[in-house]
Structure 1
């Protein structure tokens, strides 16, 4: 198995994706996009509501911060975390904030325990894949790159060979300048597409990989700084030395990426029928233990050579009470392995009937697995905490909420859940826009709560309708 070739192919493909994410991020407001960490004060080491974007759950956040300290000191081997609490109390948020506390480039992989029963592969194989997705490999490669400040970009057009009208880009001439030299490069048209995608322009500092042609924008040259009173650009100094140089490039791939790259057919002679069968009948294939061992040997050799570094991430398994005895036994074995991420389980069950009548079934997990777990409890949020959480979410989502709207949401949360009241923000904004207002008032939130009811209101309506139907039948 040509491991070196497979690793380089994966790292190269991931670098292209990384370029797009870094320079042109998708500004999507997700559920936990406002979180910056657990919000632990660096002086008092106590959780606060003024940092990290995390509000409430002080006890759970403090316990999670202690776990993070144990992980950083490499004293958490063979253990896992169980977050136990009612739905909507921030169990996923605590797990994600732990990932942010552990440092940059720490992978966070989330799965539901019910996924192991819905795939074409074995349950333990599904768990192993998610374990491997949660372990990142930092690859350090020394590559030849052209680096400098862009002083000229000139796309060269040509007649389109397909038809007689219109033109297409033949190539692009780009001039890069450093403190020592200046060089004009002739680049392929595909690289010009990358330039347009990253929005590179004259005055930007970029580097272009000599072999692959990947281009990355490092920032605006600091010679252009100070032109405005308020600036959002990131300024970098003009590069030193020659334009063509060797540069250390850091890329990240997961162990599962390497497994999949080495499991792909290599297209050798005699394999055409196998390729056709895979195209006609695609399905999930299980990666063998032997292949994983070969990948691990290659990664270990890279680590010894100083080329790579293994970065364990966080694997979050929700609905952990749905794991059966086989999956729980598998977790025992994997938690004791050398390459294991930080496993965080979550459940909203208090006690579940188990197959073993002697097992009390607390949190729906066997007793021997509970012995390995550090259990952190989460509690329901108070109306004041809901008030502050909604206030932060409204700022992130760009919604202007009046004080009456915040008070109405806090009032509704007493008999409902945090997820439900957060779902009223956008409908309230739409109702306010229909009324010709840019600010959401309490009446908009109240109207939205009558249009979209929660499960408690559904239950109450069902009981009322059932009683009314029974009374009508008696009459």
Structure 2
């Protein structure tokens, strides 16, 4: 793909064998009469040629789970059907990720879990969420509900938004108001401009 010829300066990734062309050597610049305008000339490397290069990969915990739970490995990500991932595999991966974090090999960036119509969850789901929020790898939880005081599914208790009180105490509640007529007009004007509609 790179069409490497004599006089090119290249980099070979030792792990993958990938060849990347950096440009042509200044030493060979007079060997050819005609060259394209996109030809880059670079200095020939000197000294020790084997160098270390740090490469960063961004992957989600789910992707690591899928890769380790299937025989196809990395190709399982493209198959679509991930199936069920065993809890033993998840525990092993959590242990390994924690080990990498302590060694400084990995950095953990928490995601965001958004649950709309949260009053539809039952008591078991809420207890799972409560436990999950105590994990070191817990995502930022954003939930939405349009209910006032309502029954918690799976129980006979009533509480604000249908959320158990122990979880409700840990939440920051942000009240929203309906849009005014002028705000709706502004939103529609912006949307019409984006869609190129009169």
Distance 2:42 2:165 in 1: 60
Give the match for residue 147 of structure 1.
none
Give the match for residue 66 of structure 2.
260
Q: Which runs of 5+ in 2 are unaligned?
A: 21-40, 74-79
1:387 aligns with 2:172: no
Give the match for residue 337 of structure 1.
135
Give the match for residue 290 of structure 1.
88
Change (3 A) 1:382 1:288: same
Distance 2:141 2:167 in 1: 12
**1:320 and 1:345 in contact (8 A); partners too:** yes
Shift of 1:339: 1.2
Change (3 A) 1:265 1:377: same
How many residue pairs get aligned? The number is 167
Give the match for residue 396 of structure 1.
194
Change (3 A) 1:283 1:250: closer
Shift of 1:239: 8.0
**2:117 and 2:146 in contact (8 A); partners too:** yes
Distance 1:239 1:299 in 2: 40
Change (3 A) 1:183 1:347: same
Structure with bigger helix share is 1
**One of 290, 302, 305 as aligned partner of 2:100:** 302
Change (3 A) 1:284 1:258: closer
1:213 aligns with 2:18: yes
Distance 2:128 2:148 in 1: 23
Shift of 1:333: 0.9
Give the match for residue 173 of structure 1.
3
Structure with bigger strand share is 1
Distance 2:149 2:43 in 1: 65
**One of 289, 314, 317 as aligned partner of 2:112:** 314
Task: Map Cα deviations across residues 374-412 of structure 1 (whole Å, 9 max, x no partner).
Answer: 111111111221222233333433x1xxxxxxxxxxxxx
**1:173 and 1:184 in contact (8 A); partners too:** no
Shift of 1:316: 0.7
Q: CA RMSD in A?
A: 3.4
Change (3 A) 1:367 1:213: same
Give the match for residue 163 of structure 2.
365
Give the match for residue 37 of structure 2.
none
Structure 1 length-normalised TM: 0.31
**1:321 and 1:365 in contact (8 A); partners too:** yes
Shift of 1:361: 3.0
Distance 2:133 2:185 in 1: 40
Distance 1:336 1:283 in 2: 30
- 3-state SS of paired residue (2:149): coil
Give the match for residue 175 of structure 2.
377
Task: Map Cα deviations across residues 295-319 of structure 1 (whole Å, 9 max, x no partner).
Answer: 1121122222222101111111111
**1:313 and 1:342 in contact (8 A); partners too:** yes
Give the match for residue 356 of structure 1.
155
Shift of 1:287: 2.1
Change (3 A) 1:173 1:284: closer
Q: Which runs of 5+ in 1 are unaligned?
A: 1-170, 176-181, 186-206, 216-237, 268-281, 400-428, 430-439, 441-475
**2:115 and 2:144 in contact (8 A); partners too:** yes
Q: How does 1:175-190 map to 2 (within 5 A)?
A: 183=8
- 3-state SS of paired residue (1:347): coil
Structure 2 length-normalised TM: 0.69
**1:314 and 1:343 in contact (8 A); partners too:** yes
